Amino acid sequence: MKLSKKKKEGLRNLGTHVVLIFIVLFMLLPLLSMVGTAFTKHDEVLTRTEMFPPLGEWSIENFVGVLEKTNYGSNMIVSAVVSLSATVLGAIVSTFSGYALSRFRGPFYSLNLILMLLMQMFPGMLVTIPLFLLAINLGMVNHLSSLVLVHLGGNLGFNLMMMKSFYDSTPVEIEEAGKVDGATDFQVFIRLILPLVKPGIATISIMVFLNSWNEYTMSSLLLRNGELQTLTVGMTRFQSLDIIDWGYLMAASTLAVLPALFFMFFAQKYLVQGLTAGAVKG
C-alpha cells in the first residue's frame, strides 16, 4: 500500500520533530540535573543517584540555605543593577552612535568603523590587566560604576556594528520626507527612524544583558568586597579545594538561570527578528 505524498511529508516532519526533541532533551540533561539536585534535601545530595527526588520529597532547603546563610541574595541584586545599567546605557549610546556612523561621512567616522572592527578582533582577556590597573589609578575598585563601564565598553563594538546595519537598511527618503513636512532632524530621528530599528535595539539589549549577567573575570577583579559582588563571583564560595557544597551550588545556579530564562522568554521574538533582519538587510 503506497502512502500519499501528503502522508509521506507528514511522516517525514514527524520524524524530524522526534529527532530534534531528542537532541534538545539530551542537551538539557545538565540543566535538568542541576534543577533536580537543587530540590533534593541537603543531606541527601551526595547519596541519591536519581536525577530528580520522588514527588513527595522535593525540598527547598538548599534555596533557603543559600539565601539565608550567605550573601547570595545581595549578589543577585548587584548583578541585576549592573546588568540593567549596562543594558540601558548600551542601548542609548549604540542607538545614537550607530546612526551617526551610518549617516555621516568623513575620515573621523571611517576611523571609528575601523576601530570598532579592531575591537572585535582582540580577546577580552587581553585588556583585563590594563583595565584593572586603570581602575586602581582612578580609585574605582569596589564601585559598581567601574563594572558597568567595562561591560558597556566590552559590548560596544558589536552593538555599533549591529545598529549601523539597521540604519543602513533604512531608506534616507523617509528622513527627507519628514523634513519636507517641517519636522526637525531630532523629530525625524525619534518619530520615524527609531520605530523602524526597534528589533535592533532589542537585540543589542538582550545581548548586553546576558553578557553582563554571566560575566565573571572583571567582576571578580573590580568588586573585591564580599557584599558587593556579582552572582557569578558569589557562587565560588560554595566550593573550595577540599569540598564542594553541591546542594547550595546547584540551588544558586538555578536562581541565577531563572532571570535569564525569564528575560529570554519574553524577548526571544525580538532577538530572532533582530538577528535575521540584521543579517539580511546589513
Q: Which three-class secondary structure state does DSSP give residue 159?
A: helix
- Give pLDDT < 50 ranges for the chain: 278-282
Q: What are the C-alpha distances in Å from 167 to residues 1, 56, 107, 120, 196?
A: 57, 56, 19, 20, 9
The sign of the torsion formed by the CA atoms of 184, 187, 191, 195 equals: positive
Mean pLDDT, the chain, whole residue set: 84
d(CA 115, CA 117): 5
Q: Which amino acid is at 107?
A: P
pTM (2 decimals)?
0.82
